Amino acid sequence: QGYCQDKYRGQLASVHSSARNQELRKLARTYNTFISPWIGAVTSCKAGKWKSYWEDSSPWNYANWAPTQPLHIVTTCTTLSVRDGLWRSRFCLQLRPFICQY
């Protein structure tokens, strides 16, 4: 998120519809067909409850989690699978491609 803000003056992408999810998946596949990129969803425990939210503070009105996701162990960031379009929790410090929006 910080790199996206500092270098591109943007935010990690938020996804609010199935159509947008598929659009971003297609975009990601043109870059790399194996490594799933970061999107702007974060899952963390707040006031004793696990909650997912968008880094850009937009409404949480759509989700496309893979089965058993998101993880509720530690704060996690989210990848958009280039293979199936589903979202998965990942440790936030992993180096991956990312989708920035402006």
How confident is the model at residue 11, as a pLDDT? 92
Fold of 1-101: Mannose-Binding Protein A; Chain A (3.10.100)
Q: List the one residue out of 76, 82, 89, 77 whose CA is nearest residue 12.
A: 77
Q: Residue count of the chain, please give it.
A: 102
Domain ranges of the chain: 1-101
How confident is the model at residue 16, as a pLDDT? 98
Mean pLDDT, rounded, for 77-95: 96
pLDDT tens per residue across span 7-41 = 888 999 999 999 999 999 999 999 877 899 999 99
| Confidence at 5, pLDDT banded by 50, 70, 90 | confident
Q: What is the pTM of this model?
A: 0.92
How much is the CA Rg of the chain, to the nearest whole Å? 13
